[in-house]
Structure formats: structure tokens, C-alpha cells
Amino acid sequence: MQISRYTDYAYRVLMYLAINDQHRVTMVEIAEFYGISREHLRKVVHRLASLKYIHTYTGKGGGMELSETLENINLGQVFLEFEGRNSLIDCQQTHCPLRTSCDLNRIFYKAQDAFLNEISQYTLQDVLHNSVMVNKLMNT
Amino acid sequence: MQISRYTDYAYRVLMYLAINDQHRVTMVEIAEFYGISREHLRKVVHRLASLKYIHTYTGKGGGMELSETLENINLGQVFLEFEGRNSLIDCQQTHCPLRTSCDLNRIFYKAQDAFLNEISQYTLQDVLHNSVMVNKLMNT
């Protein structure tokens, strides 16, 4: 079981912005830090901006920064917005003959609820408490 | 978030055998029923046999059948045996610079526990109660 790259990158962008809150951050900077493609980041950044997690600025001195405090960015909310509630098993694509009489997807749906309830107890603050502390110490 | 094809097929083989418990079932029959590749099924069937969920018989009249009752096949157990406890985010492969100071994977691990606890409350009997009933009615 793995989450999509799209969701993974959303968390990574948020984490990078949380740690680097002293300046506006560019997409190039994030791509280089994680060693990932700028193309893949673009869609994620656009979505984060449209969901108002980040502010983006164009022109000289442009870049992006978080528009929410770390404790206001809920991991479960981000998961729902990026990963969504896809079926864990795709009964439709393969036209599974059992799809009308099999309860597997309903059970997996309940299990996803349990998963979401758990991560919804945490915010970006909880994910990065070490990094943020280290960073604050380095900058004081 | 999706489970691997390997795990998906494990559940499908078990379900097919549960519904067709009046005869030994061949791999060809399962592949045709679901419209999936026999090659992909082979590894799954081998693993199900080595875990003693099924008995396989070679030669004329050969095939496979469940070696456990439906209520003894726990969905969480099957999930653990086929899907395992992989990290939902792969911090190692991309050598994420934050991997030592980020708690995301630990939080996802706890969420996976919640997921597993939920599906572990169900057995193959619960998944197929409709199908098995329909099948029993059709065969009486």
C-alpha cells in the first residue's frame, strides 16, 4: 500500500516551507532539495495555492510561503484533498464479476476511515517538531 | 492509496474458491472468470499454497481448493502476508534529506495499524456472505 506521488509531494512542499519560513521559497529550490522533478512539483504547488495552504508571488523576489500556521495544517485534510477516497481495489476497471455481491470494498472503505481518523489527529507541527526546533536554534 | 495487484489477486483467488467449493478449481478458470493474466496468478497461488490457505493437486482432476473454512481466513492476516507493512512514503529511495527529523512515516505507520485493526475484524465469510448464500441457493 502506497500513497501517490502527488500526495507525497504535497506533504514535502509543506514541510520544506515550514522549515524555511525565513524567506520565500522557489520551486527550483524545493526540487533541488529533494532531488525531484520540477514538472511534477508544478501541479502540486498549484493545487496547494488553490487550497490556500500557500501564497505564491511572481516576479523578482517571488516564490512561495505558507499561508497557514503549522498547527492549522491537518495531515488528514491534506490526505483527503490530494489522495481522495479512491477504492483500494479497483472492481470497476477489471469489471470484476463479483462486484455486486462482494463486500471487500465496503470493508476497505471502513478501514480507510480508521486510517484517516488516525492521521487527522496530527498537524504539520507534529510532523516537524524536531526539524523546526533545530532550525529555530540554528537561526537564533 | 491502492493495494498492490499481488494482494488484490490473493483476495480474488480466495473469493473464487469460496464460491466454487463444489469442485477443484484450475488457474485457467480463475484467470478467465476475472479476465486477468494467468502469469500474474501463478505467484499468488503458489504463495497461498505455501501459507496453507489452499491445497493444490496436480494431474488429471487436479486444481485447487480452500484448506481453511471461510471464517478462519482473516482479511487482516491476508493483508499482512501479501501486502506487508511497507512505508506509505518511500523516504529511503529518494534519500529525502528530512528522513531523520520528519515524523510523517511514524504517523502513517500508526494509521496503518488502525487500518489493519479494522480489516482484521472481518473474515472471508463476511466478504462473501451474499455470494455464498446465492451460490448455496443455486446449488440446492
Number of residues assigned to chain A:
140
Tell me which long-range contacts B135-140 makes (C-beta under 8 A, separation of at least 24): B135/B19, B135/B20, B139/B22
CA distance A104 to A32: 42
CA distance A109 to B140: 34
Q: Which three cell numbers mark B91?
A: 523516504
Q: Given its phi and psi angles, is residue B69 left (phi above 0), alpha (psi -120 to 50 degrees) or beta?
A: beta
CA distances (Å), origin A34, targets A3, B67, B89, B91: 17, 48, 13, 10
The pLDDT mean for chain A works out to: 89
A6 near B CB under 8 A: no
Per the CB < 8 A criterion, the answer to whether A11 and B87 are in contact is no
Element holding B57 (H helix, E strand): strand B54-57
**Interface ipTM:** 0.86
B15 near A CB under 8 A: yes
Torsion of CA B112, B113, B115, B117, to 10 degrees: 160
A21 near B CB under 8 A: no
User: What pTM did the predictor assign?
Assistant: 0.87
B32 near A CB under 8 A: no
* Whether B34 and A94 lie within 8 Å, measured CB to CB: yes
Selected residue with higher pLDDT from B130 and B76 = B76
Per the CB < 8 A criterion, the answer to whether A119 and A83 are in contact is no
Residue A9: pLDDT over 60: yes
Mean pLDDT of A1-8: 89
- List, for residues A80-137, the tens digit of each pLDDT value: 999 988 777 777 766 788 877 788 988 999 999 999 999 999 999 999 876 655 565 5
CB atoms within 10 A of CB B45: 20
Mean pLDDT of B26-37: 93
What residues are paired with A92 via a beta bridge? Answer: none
CA distance A94 to A39: 31
* Whether A95 and B35 lie within 8 Å, measured CB to CB: yes
Instruction: Tell me which DSSP letter residue B68 carries.
Output: S
pLDDT at position A57: 95
Torsion of CA A71, B89, A49, A33, to 10 degrees: 100
- List, for residues B50-109, the tens digit of each pLDDT value: 999 999 999 988 999 999 999 999 999 999 999 988 777 777 766 788 877 788 888 999
- In A39-68, the residues whose Cβ lies within 8 Å of chain B are none
The residue type of A61 is G
B127 near A CB under 8 A: yes
* Whether A107 and B131 lie within 8 Å, measured CB to CB: no
